[in-house]
Amino acid sequence: MWYNYTFNMFNIQNLLLIIIILPLLGSLVLSITPFYEQNLIRSTALNFSCLTFLLSLLLWFFFNKSLGSFQFVTKFFWIPNLNLNIVFGIDGISIFFVILTTLLIPLCFLTSWTSVNKNLKEFFIAFLIMEFFLIIVFCVLDLLLFYIFFESVLIPMFLIIGVWGSRERKIRAAYFFFLYTLLGSLLMLLTILYVYYQVGTTDYEILLTFTFSKTEQFLLWLAFFISFAAKIPMVPVHLWLPEAHVEAPTSGSVILAGILLKLGTYGFIRFSFPLFPQASFYFAPFVYSISVIGIIYTSFTAIRQTDFKRIIAYTSVAHMNLVMVGLFSFNVIGIEGAILQSLSHGFVASALFLIIGVVYERHHTRMVKYYGGLVHMMPIYIFIFLFFTMANIGLPGTSSFVGEFLILTGSFKANTLVTFLSATGMVLGGCYSLWLFNRIAYGNLKTQYIQKYVDLNKREFFTFLPLIVGTLISGLYPEIFLNSIHMSVNMLIELMYF
């Protein structure tokens, strides 16, 4: 009996490590699978990704919500002489980013089931390797390793855009994405080397006990800010995002909007706030200004776009800048709202890109002017499109409403003017979202462009189903998320203020 209990505890303690290894194991299995066995390749990749998702839910089940500290901690000696070790662990902030990652990868596989035939094996391997990198980014507790995997994510994403992109400008877009985000991170590497020189280690939990001088904090914070701002992205380093989205395949856009944009906000929460609190407070007005400009500017820009994907890409920038307003409110309500809004954006933006992918796969165009009156021929498709359009503008009962409400409540305590200006983004969101839906759903069928219409099939419907469930649950009963987040956010606030 005692032996069985010990064995079970051992397995639970190593659950995080298993979740990290599974995608890598899946990519190795695919690498030895014959390229002509396409059905086997698809099913193998999907099975590994689904198993990873189910285990991540198990991780949440065993997660102790009453603790704000890191759990499931695993440590390996890497270079002991230099005091560099590999440390993994999760808290209430990172666990949902891990779950979101493991959820979206199998959905990417399902949406690519018939649309990707060229270099199929390499396509699935790239996604599994990217999942491996992303999970590590969200649970690694070492600053140097965080940087390594933070940048490693660029490699598979660069290939996905450049090789499996949909148009002739895909190579340009891939380089645009790669250079913008990589160049922004070079300063971050130099600051990590400086931190290592000062402290003697890059272990995150040891760094939390070290206090940098005011001048050091300002300079180090700025270097981190440049890197994270390019990932979010914030104005004016946002130009790579619409290009990357337009040229990427549907599954690439889903993972780009659903996960990669969260790397920047996660970096602020995990590193900039607790390590450089004085600088974070000092630069808050600067971040507020950029975020408000980003919300208003990109919302107006979205209204005038004619490309389906480009519209959603600009709305992503607006929503992620609203997340920044919540983070820099520096109170529990605002930060919890920002985390919840990040998760909501992962559900809603991913679904909107899947919606675009459905019609693009059928008709091979994303120009809005070619579509109209789809409610007559594709009712299930339009119903799902309407649901996520309402979620995108923050309809009560959806996840976006809870996130935006908490963000605006938290920021109202910090700065009333910023809250008012940020709230204009919700009004403008109604403009571009409802106008887009109206042009696609209503009016006459444009039979001079498209003669044949086919509604969603079973595979496509079940691809949307988890995102619908996630959006409704976090909108109607956000407590199940907030209960897990609360203690970790409280600990973050304590580190900043005390």
Q: Domain coordinates of the chain in residue numbers?
A: 1-269, 283-498
Peptide bond into 236 cis (omega under 30): yes
Confidence band, pLDDT 50/70/90 cuts, at residue 398: very high
Counting every residue, how long is the chain?
Answer: 498
For residue 497, the cross-strand partners are none
Q: Half-sphere exposure of residue 425, counting CA atoms within 13 Å on the CB side? A: 33
**Distance (Å, whole) CA 124 – CA 1:** 42
DSSP 140: B
**Distance (Å, whole) CA 16 – CA 101:** 14
- The crossing angle, in degrees rounded to 10, of helices 214-231 and 170-199 is 160
Peptide bond into 396 cis (omega under 30): no
Coil, strand or helix at 90: strand
* pLDDT tens column, 41-74: 999 999 999 999 999 999 999 999 988 889 999 8
**Distance (Å, whole) CA 101 – CA 49:** 10
Q: Containing H/E element for 75?
A: strand 71-79
Q: Is the pLDDT of residue 204 over 90?
A: yes
Confidence band, pLDDT 50/70/90 cuts, at residue 5: very low
* pLDDT tens column, 140-149: 999 999 999 9
Q: Is the pLDDT of residue 160 over 70?
A: yes
Tokens of 389: 């359009």
Q: Which residue has the higher pLDDT, 116 or 21?
A: 21
The stretches of 210-331 forming alpha helices (DSSP H) are 214-231, 240-247, 250-255, 262-267, 273-275, 277-282, 284-303, 308-327
* pLDDT tens column, 7-26: 344 467 789 999 999 999 99
383-406 burial string, b = 16+ CB within 10 Å, else e? ebbebbbbbbbbeeebbbbbbbbb
pTM of the model: 0.94
CB under 8 A, 24+ apart: contacts of 333-336: 333/406, 333/409, 333/410, 333/413, 334/406, 334/407, 334/409, 334/410, 334/411, 334/413, 334/414, 335/269, 335/410, 335/489, 335/492, 335/493, 336/406, 336/410, 336/482, 336/485, 336/486, 336/489
Confidence (pLDDT) at 13: 76
CA angle (90 as vertex; 86, 92 as ends), nearest 5: 160
Q: Is the pLDDT of residue 318 over 70?
A: yes
* pLDDT tens column, 263-279: 999 999 999 999 999 99
Contact 250, 111 (CB under 8 A): yes
Confidence (pLDDT) at 247: 86
Lowest mean pLDDT: which of 9-13, 128-132, 252-256, 346-350?
A: 9-13
Distance of CA 112 to the CA centre of its chain: 19
Confidence (pLDDT) at 11: 64
Confidence band, pLDDT 50/70/90 cuts, at residue 1: very low
Coil, strand or helix at 367: strand
